[in-house]
Amino acid sequence: MLYDIRLNLRYDYDAAAGGGRHQVRVLPPTISGVQRVIAASLSFAPAPSERSDFSDFFGNNVTSIAFRDVHDALDIRMSARVAVSRPEPGLDVSPDIRRLREELDAVRSLSPDTPHHFLAASVHAGIDAAITAYARSSAGNSAVSTAMDLCSRIYRDFTYDSEATTVQTRASDAFDLKRGVCQDFSHIMIAGLRGLGVPAGYVSGFLRTIPPRGKPRLEGADAMHAWVKVWCGRDTGWQEFDPTNGMRASNDHITVGHGRDYSDVAPIVGVLKTTGGQVGEQAVDVIPVVLEKA
């Protein structure tokens, strides 16, 4: 699939800011065998006094910006054309959880993608006894079947409610509520799998949404999305699951970044020299591109 993606993040401040410094993670990367970025741009208004671009530990694209002048709003615009071609899931040859742990013990690498980084409790996805017990009911004959069953159960058992949680909500709180959004469902799945000893991480990105039949597609109606990557053993490697929709990640899922949880891939983090609060707005367009044949 080929997509044109547009993202607009806007923040209006209660009081003018005398300065600020932020890190922005919204540019999708090229991922071998999964997606290719054909073109991408990222702009800011007002223009920052300083800007630098780099890759973080996990390989995510990061833009660091700083402001010295007074400003009362920040507008971030990202556009990209991305081709996504995920391989079809093959025959499930992943080990069961006991053998998965044996294979994990044999991994000696500490590279960014090694499963060891995705086993311990993290800020939003702590190891929680209740979540572990819930996940244990999904433990099956293989790591893939365990992850898929847990993904499907979260989809069935939890209610999507954009008013129930915030970006600061942790997995244990969302689990108690049985409500939340994609970020919460991903954190619950991650916490559950880690409780079983299965490495799991957080994926941030975009998801193409399809309007109801006969209805036009609404501009800005899409939003940033989140799903889960699971290490399923030496031969199967990392696989991705979307508990918000009860499915494997597909060609409709466009990756921006990954980490241990949301805190590693938040679209923007930073500090402001100001007083009062701020109001943020987000608009996303994920538009399939159909190329005409010559």
Q: What is the pLDDT of residues 189-247, one digit of tens each?
A: 999 999 999 999 999 999 988 776 777 665 555 679 999 999 999 999 999 999 999 99
> Phi-psi bin for 286: left (phi > 0), alpha (psi -120 to 50), beta?
beta
Task: State residue 293's pLDDT score.
Answer: 67
What pLDDT, on the 0 to 100 scale, is given for residue 90?
86
Extract the tokens encoding 227: 């799903």
Handedness of CA 205, 207, 208, 212 (dihedral sign): negative
Which letter does DSSP use for residue 120 in this model?
Answer: S
The per-residue pLDDT for 284 is 93
pLDDT value of position 213: 73
Would you state the pLDDT for residue 217? 62
Consecutive H or E run containing 224: strand 224-231
Q: At what angle do helices 143-157 and 182-195 cross, to 10 degrees?
A: 140
Helix (H) or strand (E) holding 107: none
Ranges under pLDDT 70 in the chain: 212, 216-222, 292-294
Q: What is the pLDDT of residue 223?
A: 76
In 3D space, the residue among 264, 251, 196 whose CA is nearest the CA of residue 36 turns out to be: 251
Looking at residue 218, what is its pLDDT? 56
Q: How far is Cα 208 from Cα 177, in angstroms, rounded to an integer? A: 27
Residue 212 pLDDT: 67
- CA 101 distance to own-chain centroid: 25
